Amino acid sequence: METYAVIHFVAAAVSLSAAYFTWKRRSAPGAKWLFLLMIAAAQWTFCDGMDLSVTQLETHLMWAKASYLGAGAVPVFLLLFTLEYTQQEQRLSTKGVAMLFTVPLFGLFAALSNEQHQLVWTGFLQASGNPRVIVYQHGPIFWFLALYSFALLFVSAIVIVSFALKTGRLYRGQNISIIVAILLPWSAAVVYVHAPGLVPGFYPSIALVVSGSIMTLSILKHRLFDLVPIAREALQEKVPDGLLALDSAGQVVDLNPATIRLLELQSAKPIGQPISRLLESWPEAAAHLLVIDNEDYEFTLCSRSGSYIGFEVSVLLDNRGVYCGNLVVVRDVTDRVRNEQALKQANDELQSRVQDIESLHMKLSEQAIRDPLTGLFNRRYLSETLPREIGRAAREGYPVSFIMLDVDAFKQINDVHGHATGDHILRFLGSQLASQTRAGDIACRYGGDEFLVVLTNTALETAIERAERWRTSFQESSTSVMGLSEVATLSAGVAAFPIHGETAEQVFAAADGAMYAAKAAGRNRVTVSPCDRLSQISASL
């Protein structure tokens, strides 16, 4: 048997093996077309092998005609495989796929009827010394069919090469395998047509089987159908977020349909336009996108339709680290922004309620330590504060003076003028004490018509002067301000820490005793609690 015939039969078996491995992954994109491609290649190679095995011219012609079935279908199946593998099969309708087979079917019928027209083969020459080798003289239909096959192979190569440039390193091995598998039969066809004797045995069918073997290895090694790359266009169509690429001059380099929808773009051809022109109806967004910064940044704006659009800008650098543009991810963040606004409003309302509660708490706390009639501190506050004040004075070594005041004949005033007048007198006295004491002093309504004023860091002599001034002022205001027909007076008792005691209770008792002494001595006077220094103070006055 002719050696080349054996090679062809082995090649046919290899094609069937490749078809077997492809069939096992027939659900993958492009797998069914590659399976049919390998079957067609096996049929073509087998027919060529039989052509090289026989000696009769009629038998040669029979197998040569039969080979046109596989030879014509192979380029079509290859193109369909590349289109589906790269996910561009939508470019061909069912009618378009059927039309691709029109020329191969025409070639098959032309070969079968060549005796009537001799347009496929014009003649045959039997090689000298080897009756198994026939040299076919080709006619115009053959050249038409060859040109059609070259065109399909060329388109397939362009599709897969352009696709390979768009995919990443992850798919590099399988893309290279496909490119080599396409270029091999294309090169063999060129050699066979233009220089058939240049490379002996380098028939297109043999080269196609080698391509099939490469495909099989790619299936096993590079996971050709387990790891199918996703076309960039498919990614852009499916991604719900907008993708916008700008060059260093602010011109639009690329964008996907989601960007057009989210930014409400009206331009039919946005690619190549400056972003300032593309977003001339939204200048605020364009101004943010034209910011040149070395760091990524984000911002959110409200669109014309009232939705909130979030922009995530990533800086793009070339291989030298030089700024070359921005990649912008555009998202509809309306729900997020409105949720944040609702949360902020709820938080503001909560803070307002907390402030109201704190204000109410302070008010209640203030009411708890204040006398409701005069606004001065009450006895509760006094009992809580006095021990601390005396303790601080003891530690720091300064005096604290106590002035106990009482309205003279207050019961009689109430009986004659009524309780309203009595309350008016108490309020007046409280306002006078509050306005004429310092922030650190304690003015307190002790009970009924009794008042206690605690003067921090105040010497006894100063406290006596203050008590005398309050007594005089109260007496002078009784008729002119308070509207009484008779003069109202005060009796006051003064004591000081540490002269009259070392505790708050001791000093208070001294001041209270001095006040009762003033009443007993005739009222309307200031009396100092007796002590060792009393005579010195009286002498100084």
Q: Check which CATH number belongs to the domain holding 316 and give it.
A: 3.30.450.20
Catalytic annotation, residues: 449
* Structural domains counted in the chain: 4
pLDDT, residue 170, reads 45
What contacts 119, CB < 8 A, 6 or more positions away?
Answer: 110, 139, 140, 141, 142
Residue 477 resides in a domain: yes
**Any idea which of 234-238, 268-272, 517-521 has the lowest mean pLDDT?**
234-238
Indicate if 195 and 53 belong to the same structural domain: yes
Residue 198, token pair as written in the block:
């240049």
Domain that holds residue 415: 379-540
Query: Is 400 part of any domain?
Result: yes
356 vs 535 pLDDT, higher one: 356
What distances in angstroms separate CA 19 from CA 16, 24, 163, 229, 254, one per listed residue?
Answer: 5, 9, 24, 22, 40
Do residue 114 and residue 192 come from a single domain? yes
Same domain, residue pair 300 and 344:
no
| Whole-number Cα distances in Å, 336 to 125, 242, 301, 332 | 81, 17, 13, 9
Residue 214, pLDDT > 70, answer: no
In this structure, the answer to whether residues 256 and 346 fall within a common structural domain is no
pLDDT at 438 over 80: yes
pLDDT for 102 equals: 93
Q: What's the pTM value of the predicted model, to 2 decimals?
A: 0.45
Segment among 17-26, 238-247, 513-522 with least mean pLDDT? 17-26
The whole-number pLDDT of residue 535 equals 42
Region 316-345: what's the mean pLDDT? Answer: 88
pLDDT in tens, 178-188: 666 666 665 66
Distance CA 272, CA 253 (A): 6
Same domain, yes or no, for 400 and 451? yes
Q: What is the CATH number of the domain that holds 45?
A: 1.20.1070.10
pLDDT above 90: residue 211: no
What number is the average pLDDT over the span 358-369? 84
Give the pLDDT confidence score for residue 538 in this predicted structure.
Answer: 43
Same domain? 183 vs 205: yes
Domain assignment present for 234: no
Same domain, 294 and 345: no
Q: What is the pLDDT of residue 513?
A: 95
pLDDT of 197 over the 60 cut: no
For the stretch 446-466, pLDDT in tens is 999 999 999 999 999 999 999
Whether residue 220 has pLDDT greater than 70:
no
Question: Does residue 133 carry a pLDDT above 80?
Answer: no
CA distance 178 to 203: 19
Q: Do 305 and 439 share a domain, yes or no?
A: no
Average pLDDT over residues 158-178: 64
Q: Do 153 and 248 belong to one domain?
A: no
Of residues 49 and 184, more confidently modeled: 49
What are 247-302's pLDDT values in tens digits? 888 888 888 888 888 988 876 678 778 998 889 889 999 999 988 777 889 999 99
Cβ 35 vs Cβ 229: under 8 Å? no
